[in-house]
């Protein structure tokens, strides 16, 4: 049965492609899954997408990793990857992730209050 979803075949830069590859290898996910998670998180953080998680969805909080520093691009890119460096540490980021989500909800709430002239 064919999928109802549209296929998106564009990545903005080589750097983004490398980051997605590192996330895929470190967490054993497909590029499609990682790209989808990143797009959803970006839309949610801008308040465009509602934050309604259901029981059958993946907990996207597990995939946040702030360890991507600028790295020089080398010809032996694949041989220089340290997968442990890019592996997501769920325990360390759990409290920060909760705080970020609460802040996003607060900002959205404040935006709605201002739009309805309840606060200035």
pLDDT tens column, 47-77: 887 765 544 455 555 555 555 555 555 555 5
In a domain, 9, yes or no: no
In a domain, 1, yes or no: no
In a domain, 51, yes or no: yes
pLDDT tens column, 36-54: 888 888 888 888 877 655 4
In a domain, 19, yes or no: yes
Contacts 24+ apart (CB under 8 A), 97-104: 97/61, 97/64, 98/61, 101/51, 101/61, 104/44, 104/45, 104/47, 104/51
Distances (CA, A) of 21 to 11, 15, 77, 95, 120: 12, 10, 11, 26, 45
In a domain, 2, yes or no: no
Domain with 26 in it: 14-115
Give residue 18's Cα distance to chain centre: 15
In a domain, 52, yes or no: yes
Count: domains in the chain: 1
Whether the model pTM is above 0.85: no
Radius of gyration of the chain (CA): 17
């Amino acid at each position: 049965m064919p999928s109802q979803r549209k296929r998106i075949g564009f990545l903005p830069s080589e750097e983004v492609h490398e980051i997605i590859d590192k996330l895929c290898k470190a967490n054993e996910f497909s590029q499609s899954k990682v790209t989808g998670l990143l797009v959803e998180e970006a839309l949610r953080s801008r308040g465009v997408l509602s934050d309604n998680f259901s029981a059958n969805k993946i907990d996207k909080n597990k995939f946040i990793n702030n360890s991507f520093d600028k790295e020089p691009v080398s010809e032996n890119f694949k041989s220089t990857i340290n997968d442990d460096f890019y592996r997501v540490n769920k325990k360390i980021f759990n409290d920060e992730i909760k705080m970020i989500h609460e802040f996003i909800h607060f900002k959205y709430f404040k935006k709605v209050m201002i739009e309805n002239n309840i606060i200035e």
